[in-house]
């Protein structure tokens, strides 16, 4: 691959295609017709070479370190090895990789810890431990699980390590996928814009209807309940619709007192 390429593939004879080409070359350039045993031996050689190449690629990778760009999967050489390892895994029986994985676990040059379902290097599930104690005891965090990068932090580190060409390729691919989803959705819903407008208008109309009903209920509801009409709940006591007005009665009583005083004065003068 040329300099600056986002992927640098390994040496040709350390790839699936190169190994297949080599073993096929042995067969094609043989000076005699092969026996079934020789075919089986060649097939076994093909598998052993691929397993060996896979193990070499795995050992060549460094353990991921957020402060070291050479350990990022986006690094061209690492990316080439990882892609080639994927091809080899798909080509061979997965059971053949069990011994390699075990050996990598004992090797100090292993690329990364064994992938665990919990996401913690220690393999512990703190939630299950907490539930097992009936919620009475918080589990103590293992040292290897402390200060772990989040998925977003890891992606940010990988993205920052990409070259401008890699970033452009990645962003273009994401835009393409997004546009494909939009086009697919448009095909499934050709009248999407009209439907959105219709739904919006219906929602708006229902909202206005509910608002009008509520406004009418508020208008018909008295401002204060009957048991809250006395001071200090209501400064203006409501006037009764029937009977004499309180001010009118008070005025008449006051007039009656005046009349009584006048009549008394008249009676005193006669005496």
Q: Is the pLDDT of residue 145 over 80?
A: no
Rounded to an integer, the average pLDDT of 15-22 is 87
Cβ atoms of 32 and 55 within 8 Å: the answer is no
Tokens of 253: 């009583």
d(CA 184, CA 178): 10
- Please report where in the chains the tokens 């070291």 appear, as a residue: 68
Q: By 3-state DSSP, what share of the chain in percent is helix, strand and coil, each rounded to 5?
A: 65, 0, 35
Q: Is the pLDDT of residue 243 over 70?
A: no
Identify the band that residue 172 occupies on the pLDDT scale cut at 50, 70 and 90.
Answer: very high
Query: What confidence tens digit (pLDDT) does each residue in 77-106 have?
Result: 888 888 888 888 888 766 655 555 555 545
Rounded to an integer, the average pLDDT of 5-17 is 83
Query: What confidence tens digit (pLDDT) does each residue in 31-49 have?
Result: 888 888 888 888 888 888 8
Cβ atoms of 52 and 10 within 8 Å: the answer is no
**What interhelical angle do 36-60 and 98-106 show, nearest 10?**
30
| C-alpha closest to that of 124 among 146, 155, 101 | 146
CB burial of residue 163 (10 Å; 0-12, 13-18, 19+): middle
Cβ atoms of 266 and 260 within 8 Å: the answer is no
- Predicted pLDDT of residue 108: 44
Over the chain, what is the mean pLDDT? 77
In sign, the C-alpha dihedral spanning 172, 175, 179, 180 is positive
Cβ atoms of 112 and 71 within 8 Å: the answer is no
Rounded to an integer, the average pLDDT of 148-158 is 76
Rounded to an integer, the average pLDDT of 124-143 is 84
Q: Is the pLDDT of residue 238 over 60?
A: no
Cβ atoms of 38 and 198 within 8 Å: the answer is no
Lowest mean pLDDT among 48-62, 92-106, 143-157: 92-106
């Amino acid at each position: 691959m040329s300099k600056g390429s986002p992927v640098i593939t390994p040496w040709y004879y350390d790839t699936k295609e190169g190994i297949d080409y080599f073993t096929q070359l042995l067969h094609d350039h043989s000076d005699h017709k092969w026996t079934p045993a020789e075919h089986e031996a060649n097939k076994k050689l093909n598998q052993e070479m691929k397993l060996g190449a896979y193990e070499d690629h795995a050992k060549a990778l460094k353990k991921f370190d957020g402060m070291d760009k050479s350990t990022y999967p986006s690094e061209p050489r690492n990316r080439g090895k990882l892609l080639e390892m994927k091809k080899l895994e798909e080509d061979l029986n997965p059971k053949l990789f069990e011994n390699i994985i075990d050996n990598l676990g004992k090797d100090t040059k292993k690329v990364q810890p064994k992938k665990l379902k919990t996401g913690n290097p220690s393999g512990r599930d703190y939630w299950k431990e907490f539930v097992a104690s009936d919620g009475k005891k918080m589990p103590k965090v293992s040292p290897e699980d402390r200060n772990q990068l989040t998925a977003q932090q890891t992606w940010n580190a990988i993205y920052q390590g990409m070259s401008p060409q890699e970033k452009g390729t990645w962003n273009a691919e994401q835009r393409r996928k997004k546009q494909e989803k939009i086009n697919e959705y448009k095909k499934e819903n050709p009248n999407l814009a009209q439907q959105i407008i219709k739904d919006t208008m219906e929602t708006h109309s229902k909202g206005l209807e509910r608002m009008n009903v509520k406004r009418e209920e508020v208008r018909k509801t008295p401002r204060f309940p009957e048991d809250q009409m006395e001071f200090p709940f209501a400064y203006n006591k409501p006037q009764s619709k029937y009977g004499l007005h309180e001010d009118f009665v008070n005025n008449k009583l006051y007039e009656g007192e005046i009349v009584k005083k006048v009549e008394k004065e008249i009676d005193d003068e006669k005496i």
